[in-house]
């Protein structure tokens, strides 16, 4: 009997023009974990990649916390956020022409259960700015069926940016 | 059949080791590439990675590195390869293999290429490497080949290299 699927694509978006948010809705609860792969070609100004999740609608309340470890061109650092309204995965201040790409691989573990808070693990970076690892928490026992990424401050992400959501099944 | 990680090619190093591992003629039918390796080297060395035999100074990266004794971050700009990972910190011997991963999204696009990676080694010693990478290939060509090569010495026997393709539809 063939092995079950591993990374199974759920949805993908390539921006034809700049926009503020990319949202994945009606995410099936049939997987074990989710993986979001983001690859952006840059932006006209400093874009923050703010991640929010929810059930039915995104939660923008103060229900997120995270620990970040970051290395830039000169020094490492580690920071925390608590009672935040989003998980901030990083920012990109370079355009495609000047060689700035932001990339993130973000995992949502056991996202569809209704008994625990939800943990997010992410690796992201821009080779001209920094490389980072993040562990985040959404303090809700609701299943995640909506994910949104983009700058809550209104800056848009550039055309050509790609966002793909995969499902992973444990068995 | 649902899409999965699809193995494109694999390489297990035989007796005597090898100076270089190449993945050539990479199909252009996937969305992203993933390289997973388990490596040991014959000497203390840095593993370098090169795409499409591009050896001009088109590579840059930021590295976050911890050893258990110190933490550092730094950037390498204008290099002729990416400095991918180190199999060992202290030339830990024949039984210690590092675990390494490199993810390249949209490898067939005409944009410059992003690379995300991590590398870990554990040898029950005072120090060992854990590294995170954000890399860039400032080249608009689709990736059709990948080479991994130690800065010195050879990959040791039993080192393994796997190249996977991942499709988004």
B120 touches chain A (CB under 8 A): no
In this complex, the residue of B72, B103, B133 whose CB is nearest that of residue A131 is: B133
Quote the tokens at residue B59.
Answer: 């590579």
Give pLDDT, residue A58: 98
In this complex, the residue of A75, A127, A132 whose CB is nearest that of residue B60 is: A127
Tell me the per-residue pLDDT of A4-29, one tens digit each, with 9 for 90 and over.
557 899 999 999 998 999 999 999 99
**Residue closest to B21 by CA, chosen among B165, B162, B116, B164:** B162
Q: Which ipTM did the prediction report?
A: 0.83
Shortest Cα distance, chain B CAs vs residue A54, angstroms: 23
Distance CA B56, CA B72 (A): 27
Q: Where does the pLDDT of residue A44 fall: very low under 50, low under 70, confident under 90, or very high at 90 and above? A: low
Residue with the larger pLDDT of the pair B112 and A23: A23
Decide if B62 and A125 are in contact by the 8 Å CB cutoff.
Answer: yes
Q: How do A130-138 and A64-71 pair as beta strands? A: antiparallel
Tell me the per-residue pLDDT of B37-64, one tens digit each, with 9 for 90 and over.
998 876 667 788 999 988 889 999 999 9
Decide if A76 and B71 are in contact by the 8 Å CB cutoff.
Answer: yes
Distance CA B8, CA A171 (A): 23
Lowest mean pLDDT among A21-25, B26-30, B78-82: B78-82
Tell me the per-residue pLDDT of A84-118, one tens digit each, with 9 for 90 and over.
999 998 766 665 555 567 899 999 999 999 999 99
Give pLDDT, residue B27: 97
Whether pLDDT at A1 is above 50 = no
Whether pLDDT at B1 is above 50 = no
How confident is the prediction for chain A on average, in pLDDT?
88
Decide if B65 and A71 are in contact by the 8 Å CB cutoff.
Answer: yes
Decide if B132 and A125 are in contact by the 8 Å CB cutoff.
Answer: yes
Distance CA A161, CA A31 (A): 25
In this complex, the residue of A12, A69, A101 whose CB is nearest that of residue B64 is: A69
With CA atoms as reference, the chain B residue closest to A9 would be B168
Collapsing DSSP to helix, strand or coil, A33 comes out as strand
């Amino acid at each position: 009997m063939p092995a079950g699927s591993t990374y199974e694509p759920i949805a993908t978006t390539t921006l034809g023009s700049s926009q503020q948010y990319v949202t994945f809705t009606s995410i099936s609860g049939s997987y074990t974990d989710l993986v979001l792969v983001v690859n952006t070609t840059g932006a006209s100004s400093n874009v923050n990649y703010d991640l929010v999740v929810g059930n039915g609608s995104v939660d923008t309340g103060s229900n997120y916390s995270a620990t970040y470890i970051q290395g830039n061109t000169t020094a490492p650092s580690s920071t925390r956020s608590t009672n935040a309204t989003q998980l901030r995965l990083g920012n990109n201040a370079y355009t495609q022409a000047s060689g700035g790409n932001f990339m993130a691989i973000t995992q949502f573990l056991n996202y569809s259960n209704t008994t625990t808070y939800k943990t997010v693990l992410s690796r992201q970076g821009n080779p001209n700015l920094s490389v980072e690892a993040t562990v985040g928490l959404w303090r809700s026992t609701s299943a995640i069926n909506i994910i949104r990424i983009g700058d809550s401050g209104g800056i848009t992400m550039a055309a050509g940016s790609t966002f793909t959501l995969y499902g992973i099944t444990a068995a | 059949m649902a899409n999965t990680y699809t193995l494109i090619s694999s390489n297990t190093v035989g007796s005597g080791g090898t100076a270089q591992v190449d993945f050539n003629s990479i199909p252009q039918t996937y969305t992203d590439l993933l390289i997973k390796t388990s490596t040991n080297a014959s000497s203390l060395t840095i593993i370098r990675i090169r795409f499409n035999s591009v050896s001009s100074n088109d590579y840059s990266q930021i590295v976050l590195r911890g050893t258990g004794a110190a933490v550092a971050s730094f950037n390498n700009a204008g290099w002729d390869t990416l400095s991918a990972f180190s199999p060992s910190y202290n030339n830990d011997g024949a039984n210690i293999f590092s675990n390494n991963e490199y993810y390249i999204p949209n490898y067939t696009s005409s944009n410059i290429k992003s690379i995300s990676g991590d590398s870990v080694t554990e040898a029950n010693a005072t120090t060992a490497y854990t590294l995170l990478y954000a890399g860039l290939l400032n080249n608009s060509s689709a990736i059709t080949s990948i080479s991994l090569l130690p800065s010195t010495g050879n990959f040791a026997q039993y080192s393994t290299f796997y190249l996977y393709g991942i499709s988004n539809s």
